[in-house]
Structure 1
Amino acid sequence: MAVVQLSTDDNAFSSIYPPTHLQGPALGSDDVRLQNGVSTALVVVSTSVLRTHPSLLKYDSGIPVKQEIMQTPYANGSRKRLGPTVDLPPVAQYGTAYRLDRAIVGSFVGTIDHDDLAFPEITMAQKMSIRFQFVGHTPYSRQASVLRSTKGNGRVEQPTKGFLATLAARELERFMESENARDPSCFPYRLDQLVLLDIRLVSDGSLQPSVGVFLPRT
C-alpha cells in the first residue's frame, strides 16, 4: 500500500510506510505519483487534493497521520436539483475526528458538529445512493433512506452529519465484506483503521464519502 506523509509545506511530501515506487517524470511540488501495490493503479496526491481535503494535512504531532483512499469521482446522474451554476459538488467536511468504527454504532466521541445538518441549504430526496469508487475496485452503490423522522410529531427532517456518517460506515462495511468475500487481501483495511473525511453530493440522488486511513506512528 502506498502511503504518503503530508505536510502543510507543498514541497514536503515523503513516503513513510511501506516503501513506494515513484513513477513517471521528475516530480515537482504540485504532485506526487505513487504506485499502489494493492490495486496496481496510479494514485495522484496533489496540492489541489490538499485544498479540497484539508483534513489530510498533518496539523501537529498529536494527530495521527492519515491518507485518503483515492476514488474516481462519480460523474453521472442528474444535477438539476443542484442548479446549473453549481460547478463543484457541495461538500460536508468532517475533519479527522469521525472514526468509522464508532460512527457505525452511532457514537461520535470527539466530535462537536454531529448534530449539525450535513447540507443545510439543500433539500434531499428520501432515498439517496451511497457510492464508493475506489481506484482499482469495482464501483459500489446502494440506496439508503437519508431523511429522519422526528419522534413525537412524525416530521421528516434533513440528515445531520452524524446520521450520514453512520450510513456511510454501514455501506462501507458492506462494500468491504463484498470485496473480501472474493479476496481477503483485496481491500486491506478494517473499519477501526478508517475515518470519514468528507461526503460529497455528487448528483441529485448520490452521495460519495471520502475515506482516510489511520497510519501507525513511527
Structure 2
Amino acid sequence: MDYQAARVSLLLAAATALLLLPPGLWLARWLALSAWRGKPLVEALLMLPLLLPPTVIGFYLLLVFGQGSALGAWLGSTLNLRLVFSFEGLLLASVLVNLPFMVQPIQRAFAALPHSLREAAWVSGLSVWQTFWRIELPLAWPGLLAGVALTVAHTLGEFGVVLMVGGSIPGETRTLSVAIYDRVQAFDLAGAHGMALALVLFSLLALALVFAADRRQAAARTLQER
C-alpha cells in the first residue's frame, strides 16, 4: 500500500466533499423547486462531466489554467498560485468533475418532499429560511448523505482528470488511482492489487450507504402519504 498516495487521496476526497456541499445543496434545492424555463440547460451543463471523457475535461483545464494561458500567467505572477501539477489545481478539477455526484442525490431528495409540507410550514408562521432548516433539511438528509458518499467514492477512484491536471508528484498529486497505474507500469501487480482492492471495498461501502439512504427516504415518503 502506498500510504503517501492514500493520504493525498483521502485529503482530496474530504476537501472536495466539504467544498461542494454548500453550493451543491443550494443548487440542488433550486433545481428541485425552480420552474424557470432555462433549467434544462443548467441540468445539461451539470450532467456534462458524466458524459465527457475525463481527459477532455483535463485538457481544457490545462489550456485555461496552464502557465501558457493568460489566466494561468496572471494567477502565477499576481497570486503566486499554480493550478497545474499542484494539489490546489487537483482540488479545483475534482470539484468541477464531482459536481453532479453531489447535486443529483440532493436534488432528488428535495424534489420528493411534497410542496404542501412547505405550505403548511409557512401557514404556521415559519419563514422560508426556517422551513428549510427545520423541515426540509431534516427530511432531505438521506440525499445529503448519498451525495457526500458518492462524491468521496468518485474522487478516490478518479484517474483521467487527476493524471492530466495533477500528474504524479509524490506526496502532492499522486493519488491511489495514479499509484495503481504506476505499479502496473512497473509490473508490481501485487502492490497494484492491494490498492485496487481497497478502492473496490470503499466504493462498495459508499454504494451501500447510498442505497440505505434511498430506502430510508422511500420509507419516510410512504409514512407521509399515509
TM-score (norm 2): 0.24
Greater relative contact order (CA < 8 Å, ≥ 6 in sequence): 2
Larger radius of gyration: 2
TM-score (norm 1): 0.25
More helix by percentage: 2
More strand by percentage: 1
